[in-house]
Chains A and B, each alone.
Chain A
């Protein structure tokens, strides 16, 4: 049992796993990072943007050396209807804190940094089982062999078959997961900068609600890369089954809406990809530790769906679990009471507090998806139609008709329900 034994085994080389690996390697602990893909990042996709914090704490040279696509200067929000759209944009000259990346390049760069500092990386290694002895986690089993360690960190992502095997995580329901599908479209640099009104190396993040996912819990997104754009949607699984439509069909419809079509025009498809997003929020967070084991990142359902953030809390949870493992190794105590320090540390972070803040937001939005993603986006578009339209009907009558229709279309009961949900969300956020 000794020859294959190290201090810590980490399963999964996504943002969470590599953050844990580099933290342990910095402390000179013997750490093995196992990844089922050909290289770190080869099975992964996201929107997406990574964030300055906590990236700079883990990889201090990332701004100069990492494969960053663009630095995000502008955030746009589009309320999309079939024939019109309303958009808001925020652009700032202040230093930016978010960067677009492509995961096959970014994840690899992060894992390489951990290896540089002494972590042992093994790709093409699928972990099939967590091994226990006397009730404690002592190692893992791959397709080929068994490995042993004092601590096992599960960073195996949203599906975490391993947390499930240990009984630490319950089955998630189709309403607690969304599928993201994305196309990376090649466009000349100049076209991207012109189309999105950007300077050299500057990026724009666009989030879209409404068409074609009217009355479905879903979001569209566009991120700008150096010489490509990432265009996709995320939609809850139960909505697809209910509406009998596939994610690819929705993505095609999305790209054809008048607000999106000119932004993606002439883009040549470089790669199509898909990945799940945990949507369960705060209430779906599983047991985070047990004797000899800790769970980090998406495997622990740690994603802030309201703000589209997952990599930051994945990295931070990986770092905190690694710091706890270091304390455990130094104290030679791998019991759950020792490893409970990981949860304590996590609870003190702003990310965890944010998850708590939004604990009902996603659920409330989902329960009211018809009004949140269908009816109101339509009404907001109608409002702007009145404001911008000139014709033979006086605006006053148009406004009156708008309000009258609003009351007529929306039964008092549903209007009341919407108001209550809105208040519930607002109170939930500020209390």
Chain B
């Protein structure tokens, strides 16, 4: 059986920080038709919340790859590395 992203992520050691290191510009996202972040992310960090009309950002899932940063064509995403001592640690890589 194919594993979901969440099941796979449970194999990655991670220490999430309390605040998100990924901050989308809410207004820009509302006008964005493409929403590349929903597709390029290997960790399912982004979900579109229809009621709130904004992105849900599960930053604790982030694998720190930077795909969303590049794919966001309007550069509407504030993207930085998590603080030193936080984030993912691969055992194998």
Assess the B40–A179 pair: CB atoms within 8 A: yes
Determine whether A274 belongs to the interface, using a CB cutoff of 8 Å to chain B. Answer: yes
> Hey, which chain A residues are within 8 Å of B11, CB to CB?
269-272
Determine whether A36 belongs to the interface, using a CB cutoff of 8 Å to chain B. Answer: yes
Assess the A174–B70 pair: CB atoms within 8 A: yes
> Hey, which chain B residues are within 8 Å of A238, CB to CB?
71
Assess the A248–B44 pair: CB atoms within 8 A: yes
- Binary interface profile of B, 23-37, with partner A (CB < 8 Å = 1, else 0)? 000000000001010
Determine whether B73 belongs to the interface, using a CB cutoff of 8 Å to chain A. Answer: yes
- Binary interface profile of B, 51-93, with partner A (CB < 8 Å = 1, else 0)? 0000000000001111101110101000011011101111111
Chain B residues close to A by CB (< 8 Å): 2-5, 8-9, 11-12, 34, 36, 38-44, 63-67, 69-71, 73, 75, 80-81, 83-85, 87-93
Determine whether A45 belongs to the interface, using a CB cutoff of 8 Å to chain B. Answer: yes
Assess the B87–A272 pair: CB atoms within 8 A: no
Neighbour of B42 across the interface among A144, A243, A247, CB < 8 A: A247
Contact of A272 with B12 at beta-carbon distance under 8 Å, contacts A174-B73, A237-B71, A248-B5 already known:
yes
Assess the A184–B92 pair: CB atoms within 8 A: yes
Assess the B67–A237 pair: CB atoms within 8 A: yes
Neighbour of B90 across the interface among A45, A183, A246, CB < 8 A: A45
Assess the A142–B84 pair: CB atoms within 8 A: yes
Assess the A102–B73 pair: CB atoms within 8 A: no
> DSSP majority for the A interface?
mixed
Neighbour of B3 across the interface among A126, A228, A269, CB < 8 A: A269
> DSSP majority for the B interface?
loop
Q: How far is the CA of A100 from the CA of B29 in the complex (A)?
A: 42
Question: What residue of chain B has the Cβ atom nearest to residue A34's Cβ?
Answer: B84
Neighbour of A269 across the interface among B8, B66, B80, B81, CB < 8 A: B8
Q: How far is the CA of A114 from the CA of B63 in the complex (A)?
A: 27
> Hey, which chain B residues are within 8 Å of A37, CB to CB?
89
> Hey, which chain A residues are within 8 Å of B84, CB to CB?
36, 124-126, 142-144
Contact of A247 with B40 at beta-carbon distance under 8 Å, contacts A43-B64, A273-B12, A276-B66 already known:
yes
> Hey, which chain B residues are within 8 Å of A241, CB to CB?
34, 36, 39-40, 71
Q: How far is the CA of A46 from the CA of B71 in the complex (A)?
A: 21
> Hey, which chain A residues are within 8 Å of B92, CB to CB?
102-105, 184, 228, 270-271, 273
Q: Report the minimal beta-carbon distance from B70 to chain A, rounded to whole angstroms.
A: 5
Assess the B90–A237 pair: CB atoms within 8 A: no
Q: Report the minimal beta-carbon distance from B6 to chain A, rounded to whole angstroms.
A: 10
Q: How far is the CA of A276 from the CA of B40 in the complex (A)?
A: 11
Determine whether A172 belongs to the interface, using a CB cutoff of 8 Å to chain B. Answer: yes
Question: What residue of chain A has the Cβ atom nearest to residue B42's Cβ?
Answer: A274
> Hey, which chain B residues are within 8 Å of A246, CB to CB?
5, 38-42, 44
- Find the residue from B12, B38, B71 having the highest chain A CB count within 10 A: B71
- Find the residue from B41, B70, B81, B88 having the highest chain A CB count within 10 A: B70
Question: What residue of chain B has the Cβ atom nearest to residue A160's Cβ?
Answer: B66
> Hey, which chain A residues are within 8 Å of B85, CB to CB?
38, 124
Question: What residue of chain B has the Cβ atom nearest to residue A269's Cβ?
Answer: B11
Neighbour of A41 across the interface among B63, B67, B87, B93, CB < 8 A: B93
Determine whether A63 belongs to the interface, using a CB cutoff of 8 Å to chain B. Answer: no
17 CB contacts below 8 A, A to B, read: A36-B81, A38-B89, A39-B89, A44-B93, A46-B93, A102-B92, A142-B84, A174-B40, A177-B67, A181-B42, A237-B70, A237-B71, A244-B39, A246-B44, A247-B41, A271-B91, A271-B93
